[in-house]
Structure 1
């Protein structure tokens, strides 16, 4: 009987393992091998081993450092914004009062909205001839000149950061709402009897009780910030002059515009190592706490 159960287990395991090996493990290994070669799509017959030259070129590439800086800026804008707004929305909507279900749906709608659609809407709103400039100039009469929201790197990263916040608040809200259900109500009642106000109850009871959830959300949002691509690609395409470039858009351009797959492969592994190091640091800090 045990042999039959073991055979049945292998039958369930093998399809998933084959899928993982074929579509995830094999491309990862192949990509790692390509990172040590001068491999270009324009000439597939030429595959020259160059050792660590691609990795050296990555760290000597000014656009790489610009893209890393832009990811940090995007993360500093979007991650705290999503966490803070998501928490307070979850705290306000955690109880089943009249209208809360409607607001939950409204806050979650951006999460299921396509990144392509959301990016194009934001581009329409913030372009030089877009809705926001029209509203500021024609309705509010605050200025006679158009504001270059997407042409100036600092403003463009701010716009893309706001898009990330708008898209992510609903997801953070759902995770926090699930965590808030586990906070003992007796602690709130005892704090109320001691004269604690709402902010004190949040600071001394709610936040310590959901610390592990906060860590999970923070880790996922940081990884998500490093994976930003669609909004940058559709709104600014890395411009002007690569000043809004991020790692994934630069990797995409090197691979599918300049056809330098060897460099793109090396860049992808540098990118993966950075994310792994950040995740490890977060785990260590959370463990110490």
Structure 2
């Protein structure tokens, strides 16, 4: 099956989850064009007036080859309602359409555009899995250019090493119900990196510069998450670089479990998410 066919099948499989999210988290959804692509602007019905001038930038996951702002609405709608803030969900080129750094370049272009309308400290990033890794890669690129950093980055089980290095890739193989490296990720990693080594710091930002100037970061994972080692290794590097970081590990939870609507742990995780972001934005 081609990636295009798999993308379509995966998208169809999200219909029920997205429909449930639209019902649970009523919001206005608009299309905003930036850098030649249409992104989704989500305004939750419970928008906090104190956050009317803030924006959370969402970079969806999907192993760099799946999903879109539309099929990731079960995540972005839940996040918007948890925080009471607007979210811009970025549409970036998937790897089977354009290799790295095309997706990073889109995220960087969107952020630069938003800086024309928002102070950096009223912006923040969030993303899960591949989206989390893409955010870190984008922040490293922006920092190297001297661009003002956002207030925070909230990374849900970020995939920051597409080479599959780390203890949890072996220990959690077959125990994370969502992903497995040799089965579902190895080919996607190669598609994303193109001719680059999988340990190149672009597609695998854990090997890139983790240094002063990056924003405060929230890392979340679970004890059954295949990417737990990615998260632990990133936390260590952030601590060593003296970057403010908060790590929350959820017992028995799998890869990006937050998108599983109805789980008590999911509700708790979104509350933790909102607390961290509102503190970063000096709202609470």
TM-score, structure 2 length as denominator?
Answer: 0.23
Q: Which has the larger radius of gyration?
A: 1
| Greater RCO (Cα-Cα under 8 Å, separation 6 or more) | 1
TM-score, structure 1 length as denominator?
Answer: 0.22
